[in-house]
Structures are given as structure tokens and as C-alpha cells.
Amino acid sequence: MIRLLFLGDIVGEPGRAAAKLVVAELLKEEAVDFVVVNGENSAQGRGISPKISIDLLRSGVAVITTGDHVWDQKEIIPYLPTEPRLLRPLNYPAGVPGHGSIVLDTAQGKVAVMNVQCRTFMAQPLDNPFPTALAEAERLRVETPVIFVDVHGETTSEKTAIARHLDGKVSAVVGTHTHVQTADEQILPGGTAFLCDAGMCGPVDSILGREAGAVVKKFHDCMPCRFPIAHGPVQVCGALIEIDPATGRAASITRFKRLVEQR
């Protein structure tokens, strides 16, 4: 079995530090073979920088996925084409810098990772993820049946629908973007593991990793304000998935959450 660890949206420096610590622990404790993290909020809560990407990849992370904030740090635009392990959503129009999927060799065989973004209530109206993801899954299966998909989206219905659409074509579909871990982990009829949202790697005493007071104020008076990254203990959330390398079918999916005291 291939043991794959996926960690949800990393929020700022606290999330990065905690995620790297937990990855190092789980590589030993759980004999994890392959690590994927969503890093689209890892740079001060908005976007990701080349330096942060390099740091995460050196820490034991195999692939970094992103989402609608992928372009928030301008220096990432020329960097994306140079680092295929840092993905942007697959369903951007042709010609956009970067890659939406990758296949990597491991001791257990080849593993593919795909990043796709939903459209409902998302600011950027990207290409339809349903035919795009299905076509990419079929292309990747020529190389390997082990395919992990990060589906970045706002609504539970769209993420669940994409998982059902890809059931039997990919090994796992796990959602990101809402920063709130859901409790619906399951193996779909075709053998695809699914979790609607992995949750976040960010401060517990917060609203989605940001200082609660600032977010409450924004909802209260509707005035523009900054949302600083919160402080205190950090929750590292995600999923552990076991996949049969021969068939690509998932054998199990377990929600993961660990509390890390901020140093």
C-alpha cells in the first residue's frame, strides 16, 4: 500500500512551521510514503512565494497544491514554470504559467497529483472543472492508476459532485478552500477516497486562521480592514489515505488533526 498524507490550507508562518513539524513526525510515525500540502495561503495568509515553496519541498513535501490565491505573490508567476512540483489549478486557460498536474516516481511506484478549482461562488470563473479533470485523469492513468486530486472550492455540493464524477478514475479526491474540516470521509463505490474539506493548518483561536476580532469587525461594519494572522496553538488538519499501487483503488481514508503549540 502507498500511504499518502495530505494537509489542508497552510495559513501563514504559524501554519508553515506546524505543518513542517507534523510532516517530519508522520513520515516516521505513520510510515508515510508521499506528502501533499495545499500552500496557497502560506505567504502571510495570501499566496505562496518561491522561498516558501522551496522550504516546504525541502521539508519532505512531495507536491504543493494551490487555488484561487495562487497569484497573490507576484514573484510566483515566473517561478511556477520552473518548479513542476508546485501546482496551480488545472482548469486555467491554455497558456497560463505553471502546471495543473504532475507524476512523480516513488519507491512504491508512480504517484500523480492533480489540482482543480471549482466555479460556484469563486471569484475567478475558470474553465469547467468536470470535463477538464476527467480528461486529465484519463491521461494520467496511462502512466499510473495512483492519482490524488485536490479540489479547491467553496461549496460542498460541487466538490462532492466532482468526486462522484471522478469515482473509479482517481484514487482520492480531497477538498480545500473553506479551512473547515468536514466529517464525511468515505470510499466511494468505484474505489475513490473522498473528504469534502481537509481543513487548515492554522491557529485554532481564529476565524479561518485570521485574528477573530478583525473578521468580526468586518462583518459588523462592512468597512475595509486587514486580517492579521492569529497567534497561539495551531491545528494541523488533513487526511491519511492508503492506496493500492496496482489498481489505484483506495483502501482507507482517515481524517487527521493534530494540535501544535506555537513556539
Which residues are known to be catalytic?
69
User: Edge-to-edge, what's the strand order for the sheet holding 193-195?
Assistant: 101-106, 109-117, 147-152, 172-176, 193-195, 186-187
Could you give phi then psi for residue 160, rounded to 5 degrees?
Answer: -65, -40
Tell me how far apart the alpha carbons of residues 160 and 25 are, in angstroms, rounded to a whole number: 31
Residues 6 or more apart whose Cβ sits within 8 Å of residue 244: 1, 2, 250, 251
Closest CA to 230 of 254, 262, 252, 199: 262
Tell me how far apart the alpha carbons of residues 179 and 207 are, in angstroms, rounded to a whole number: 9
Per the listing, cell 482507507 goes with 252
As beta bridge partners, residue 210 has 207, 229
Per the listing, cell 505567504 goes with 43
Q: What is the dihedral of CA 4, 236, 159, 85, to 10 degrees?
A: -50
CB 231 within 8 A of CB 15: no
CB 228 within 8 A of CB 202: no
